[in-house]
Amino acid sequence: MLAMSEINCIKTLRNEKGLSISKIAETMNVNWRTAKKYGDGDQLPQEKKHIKKGMMYEEKWGQIVIDWLEEDLKLKKKLRRTNKKIVEDLKEMGFQGSYRTVCNFIQEWRAREDDEISKGHERLDHPEGEAQLDFGVMEAVQDGEIVDVHVLVMTFPASNTGFAIPMPGENLECFLGGLQELFKQAGGVPLSIRIDNLTPAVKKVRNGDTEAELTEAFRHFQNYYGFKVQVCNPSRGNEKGNVENKVGYVRYNFFSLPPVIKDFEDLTEKLKKQLKDDRNRLHYEKGELIEDLWQQEQKQLNKLPKEPYPVFKQFPIKFNKYNEFKLDKHLIHVPRARSYVQLYCITYWDSFKVITNEGEILLSDARPYMKKRRFIPWKDILKDWLKKPLVVDYSRYSGYLPTRIKEYLTVPSYSLRKQRINELITLLINHDMKEINQNFYELIGNNTEEQEHPYGVKWTDYDALSPKGTGESGHE
């Protein structure tokens, strides 16, 4: 290797004197390639690489130990090889090194692995137009009953802008249908989307050097809209930390108290407005309005195609002897189904239809899970109210009562209030709250009208004041 003074001389002869490479080689008495290398090449400083030496690095033993350690990570701790066992197995293969040599190598490998999976993750770079996607399960109240809502959230980390769409489940139709609506809300298609190992999208998770395998349906959807997909490594939540934070943000800001909704479309509009209004605040790090950052980032999105992708699933139906088939874990009856050689079911995120080979529709209805509800535990709630009747005025559950029953309970007299709460608790033994409201006069109304009480209410007169004359629309 030439000394620095010789290198500088070659540079001077080439750049300042204008000598040819051949002339420099002759003058400096060096090889033509050497003169070319230092005369025309840029000698930039490079970081020195400290190559580890020793039998664990230069021979096969280190790789064997790494393979064993990685293999053992998939087992319970009590089934993994000990250091002693690893050394014994190496000795049987002809290893000549010491126990301490192997232990030091294992300690170094484990320290390196711990660094990679530690909580101190590297800050990921988020270019404009890159999105992240995830589901979060929340609750809403519809018709006085609890509905589980699977909220699909899409965020753009560069501007911290979020969009959300409520769905009844996390199947293929809900996932693709929801994603399609999120594109519409964003006004374009992200350049790339980072996702977790969502079942509708990922057929096979990433494992070592093997890339994740997407489902055929999701690949077709991806190709149609033209976005790239990045699948997170298993157990690496930090790789989509922005959307996980946004799911929590939506839950704690908009679902801390389950909202009262008419249907999924109603909730969609409410979420859309809330998240749009939410953009009128400063970015947590950049000090600019999220809305301003989003207006800039939105320009990077790809245009939406003219026609939306048709999201549905079609499959042949197998019927039992009662002309029933199973959908969403519910039996669906199709009259005269066995009169046909073959029938097919086409499912959308919110509905389904049964068709013949010729496309004739025999049955069309909402999907069973659209009607899935859970009762609010009114009996337990009322027992708590009985102890403290004042709570009725500000309880989180008061807003879920039908209007007529709410007015019935919120009388000024606490003694009368306790009496009426007790009456409802008794009725709930054989009736649910919706039934009590629907049959109010038969179960409650007639008896209360006969009572001479300073705070009593003549319920037929009360209902006459209601816009619809029913007193049952108390969830607005």
Of 171, 174, 153, residue with least CA distance to 162: 153
Q: What's residue 67's pLDDT?
A: 77
Q: What's residue 378's pLDDT?
A: 92
* pLDDT of 220 over the 60 cut: yes
Q: What's residue 450's pLDDT?
A: 40
Q: What's residue 285's pLDDT?
A: 82
Cα–Cα distance between 169 and 261 in angstroms, integer? 17
Q: Cα dist. 344→134, 328, 333 in Å? A: 31, 15, 14
Q: Between 307 and 464, where is the model more confident?
A: 307
List of E strands, 66-144: 130-142
Query: Whole-number mean pLDDT of the chain?
Result: 83
* pLDDT of 316 over the 90 cut: yes
* pLDDT of 399 over the 80 cut: yes
Predicted confidence band of residue 235 (pLDDT cuts 50, 70, 90)? low
Question: What are the phi and psi torsion angles at 331 (to 5°)?
Answer: -85, 130
Q: What's residue 467's pLDDT?
A: 52
Q: What's residue 448's pLDDT?
A: 46
Of the candidate ranges 2-6, 234-238, 427-431, the one whose mean pLDDT is the lowest: 234-238
Question: Roughly what angle, to the nearest 10 degrees, separates helices 99-117 and 83-92?
Answer: 130
Q: What's residue 33's pLDDT?
A: 84
Q: What is the mean pLDDT of the segment spanning 218-241? A: 80
Q: What's residue 122's pLDDT?
A: 44
% of the chain with per-residue pLDDT over 70: 84
Structure tokens at 467: 């816009």
Cα–Cα distance between 203 and 176 in angstroms, integer? 15
Residues 105-158 pLDDT 10s: 888 888 877 655 544 444 456 788 999 999 999 999 998 899 999 999 999 999
Q: What's residue 208's pLDDT?
A: 67
Q: What's residue 121's pLDDT?
A: 44
* pLDDT of 468 over the 70 cut: no
* pLDDT of 317 over the 50 cut: yes
Q: What's residue 452's pLDDT?
A: 43
H helix or E strand, kind and range, residue 148: strand 145-156
pTM: 0.66
Q: What's residue 383's pLDDT?
A: 92
Q: What is the mean pLDDT of the segment spanning 317-327? A: 93
Q: Which amino acid makes up residue 233?
A: N
Residues 407-466 pLDDT 10s: 999 999 999 999 999 999 999 988 888 899 888 888 885 554 444 444 455 555 555 555
* pLDDT of 47 over the 50 cut: no
Question: What are the phi and psi torsion angles at 290 (to 5°)?
Answer: -60, -35
Q: What's residue 392's pLDDT?
A: 87
The C-alpha R_g of the chain, in whole angstroms, comes to 35
Question: What are the phi and psi torsion angles at 275 (to 5°)?
Answer: -75, -30
* pLDDT of 403 over the 70 cut: yes
* pLDDT of 40 over the 80 cut: no
Q: What's residue 393's pLDDT?
A: 86
Q: What is the mean pLDDT of the segment spanning 200-224? A: 86
Q: Cα dist. 157→146, 175, 183 in Å? A: 32, 21, 16
Q: What is the mean pLDDT of the segment spanning 220-249? A: 81
Predicted confidence band of residue 265 (pLDDT cuts 50, 70, 90)? very high
